[in-house]
Structure 1
Amino acid sequence: MAGTIERTTFGVLKDGRSVDCIRLAQDGGLDVRIITLGAAVQALFVPDAGGMMADVVLGYDDPEDYRVKRQFFGATIGRFSNRIAGGRFELDGKVIHIATNEGKNVLHGGPEGFDQKLWTIEDLGTEPEPFVRLGLVSPDGDQGFPGEVTATVTYRLTNPGELSMRYEATSDRTTVIGMTHHGYFNLGGVEHLRSVLDHRLQMPADHYLAVASDLIPEESPRSVADTLFDFREAKPIMRDLRTADDQLLTTKGYDHCFCLADKPHQAPRLAARLHHPASGRVMELHSDQPGLQFYSGNMLNAGVAGKYGQIARQGDALCLEPQSWPNAPNRPDFPSARLEAGETYRHQSIYRFSAQAPDLG
């Protein structure tokens, strides 16, 4: 299949820095726009069974909005995705203090995480498939994290319906790291937003992490059996969402890590399958990561306008974030987020799109 790549200017930040946009496309397949601010997916057009294209991710038209209306739309998250309790962890006997940005805790790398950084284009092309590799150097002490970290994310259209994301990072000092993609998906299309809660979701996870009021995991993994967290068979997201469960009350919906393994896999495996019956669009997420954070868009509150003049309300999009388990730097019983000096952190996730006949019933 023929592929194309285009590089344009997306806009200019208030401080005068230019933000580039790279478009990757496959004939008859996906069309994705990636911006250098936050190494973020700004748009992702996906065909339905009849070939009708729709943009399936939330985003902004103005680069400055990604900084002043921070929602992590489509962003590359780092240095550590999800939460670190108390803004601290211990590493080799030394207490490390990280800048907090969610009460006393750290969320998605702190106030100036990877999503707020301007990445550089290191390579791009169409052979053997359309791809772009973006790079970032995070200095020693960035947000409090030890070590100078050199990170890359490579976006590649590996076939007409498949978007691959490969993350790598090295550090000159032992540190912790856990990167992820923070796309907000609605397979019905975001040009005219409707609730995502009619989507059918399946996740092959036998356990999940219950959280305390500050959304920090409070104990060892719980079984999903006979609970509202059992997505081992596909079900509509809305089916159990209104149930007065203590966990759903705490998080105002789903915002939990589902445990896929106790360490990263050698190669990507199925982590989730999402289906929108009305359009027939299907997204399969394959990842090598041990956890998957499912967030049902609980805090989208119509407070900001995104692309197409649309205002996202609660439940209008969802996130499926393959990653380490939250607060892993403070939990030796969780899969390790430690990165030794000179070693390479690797994470690969694949978003595979297809379509089936719409269910109009």
Structure 2
Amino acid sequence: MAAPPGSVVAAIPMPALMIGADERIVAANQEALTLLGSAIEGRHFITAMRQPQTLDAVENAFRSGTPGEAVYLSNDGRQDTSFRVTARPVSEGGLSGVIVCFEDETHRAHAEQMRRDFVANVSHELKTPLTALIGFIDTLRGPARADAAARDRFLGIMESEANRMNRLVRDLLSLSRVEAEERVRPTERIDLVALIRETARSLQPLAQETGVEVTTELPAGTTDILGDTDQLRQVLVNLVENAVKYAGAGAVVRVSLTGPAYEPRVRGYGVRIRVTDTGPGIDPVHIPRLTERFYRIDTHRSRERGGTGLGLAIVKHIVNRHRGRLFVESTLGEGTEFTVVLPAG
């Protein structure tokens, strides 16, 4: 006895529907009803799937008896979605018509878009200093060949642009390594108190140069957690360096450590590292995007201070590797606080 069309499409683990020989939808699973509408059964397929590419794929399956493929675009209320549609003719066990399946490729399309954006951003970031270097080289070979003052000035700018490219390549390699290790939890036991004290001390010359005071509030004794020393040092350096560079002269940057205490966000006991500054603060519109690659609040100012736009993306991935959480709070005119919560065990 042949299975009814409804039971066939209900067993398919993606939006699927069966179109009968009369070109009307005879069955649709719950996923298809959610995607296309709850009242599509019994209607002609053209009224349910109005996108030309999808209709062509179904009509081709009916006309030629061969499978058809298309892309179906929709929106789930939060984001645009993309489906790969396959329309396959069936004629067996009493079933006759076309089965249409919708495979969700939204995440794949999103990943591909991220890859394209990443390549475009890297190309743009490298193109600017390379163009400058090529221009200065041409100038030094030509009009400024015998101009000592111009030569020294151009060489200084060339050094700055070369250092900028070097920082970008370094951060790209760092980001690649962090992403490759993100699913491997660290097993080294480290003392956060000593690490924070050492990092703050190493950044004192930068703080003095920019007129910013860096202070620490640390518990007595040691606070040990499982972690990667080099990566957590990188988190601290990025957060404190950013605070020092952007807080402005006369500001105070405070690095504190509290815990262990119960932290719901890590579902157990954890410690909190806070990097707080008394700078100008960040407009709330920027906060959700701060950890995106190459996202900058002020592109020109960031480049002037040697920023690559990758620092907070690296911080996010390192914190994720440690099964921690990163939070940002800021008030315009009052300052910004970055909080890293890490499991204590």
Shared fold by TM > 0.5? no
The normalised TM-score by structure 1 is 0.19
Higher relative contact order by CA 8 Å / sep ≥ 6: 1 or 2?
Answer: 1
The structure whose Rg is larger is 2
Which structure features the higher share of helix residues? 2
Which structure features the higher share of strand residues? 1
The normalised TM-score by structure 2 is 0.20
